[in-house]
Amino acid sequence: NRLVPRPLKVFITGASSGLGAALAQHYGAQGAQLGLLGRRLEGLQQTAADLNARLYLADVRDAAAMQAAAETFLQEIGPPDIVIAAAGISVGTLTEEAPDTPVFRAVMDANVLGLVHTFQPFIAPMEAGGGTLCGISSVAGVRGLPGGGAYSASKAAATIYLEALRLELKSRGIAVVTVAPGYIDTPMTQVNPYAMPFRMHAPAAAKKVAGCIARRRAYTVIPWQMAWVARLMKWLPIPVYDALF
């Protein structure tokens, strides 16, 4: 008799819309047992329609709520094979504007501490069977973008945090995958008033992220065209970069 592989157990944050929802659809189509977390119940319910999913209403900035959601998932489904931290905040900010100060904090809390709050409760339970933690960073973290100080800083911090975590967990059999997308056509980017080259549809981006997870890629920029843009941005001399932006 041929062994039938068991369904994957996948926990995804930011699953009420955008890339998180697309990832839920991608893994759900493969029969995965899903834990879907987000801040909007209606969005989570729309994502979870016809999927084998349990829903968790929480904000990734709330460590206690994330701990509670993880404990419930562990009790109901067991240690996950994959945890994807796809929740995040993207918003323009200006340091000179006093009302933007709490926005800076919200962005940093969601995009950096949200990763910690998502992964921490699962690390010990996942150790026995291995598994993969995936954090969604951004090309915006390669260099500072004017008007996007909070977002660029948060994604740069996320990338470095995930690299440190990868090294910490390497000997324990848990892979840490960092994916830095360019532009994805989601409600978060549809309000952008500027051109977005190489923009991906969310299902296509989800497929690429899932491929990185399956291959346990340490760091990947998607799509490949944006990877070349990121390399160019990284190595541009400061005077040239300043003149361009």
Q: Which are the catalytic amino acids?
A: 151
Q: 10: which strand partners?
A: 34, 82
Using an 8 Å Cβ cutoff, are 163 and 155 in contact? no
Using an 8 Å Cβ cutoff, are 122 and 80 in contact? yes
CA distance 185 to 18: 8
Give the distance from CA 118 to its chain's centroid: 10
Helix residue ranges, H only, 33-93: 41-48, 63-76
Check residue 149 and report its DSSP letter. H
Whether the bond between 223 and the residue before it is cis, its omega within 30 degrees of 0, is yes
CA distance 189 to 95: 22
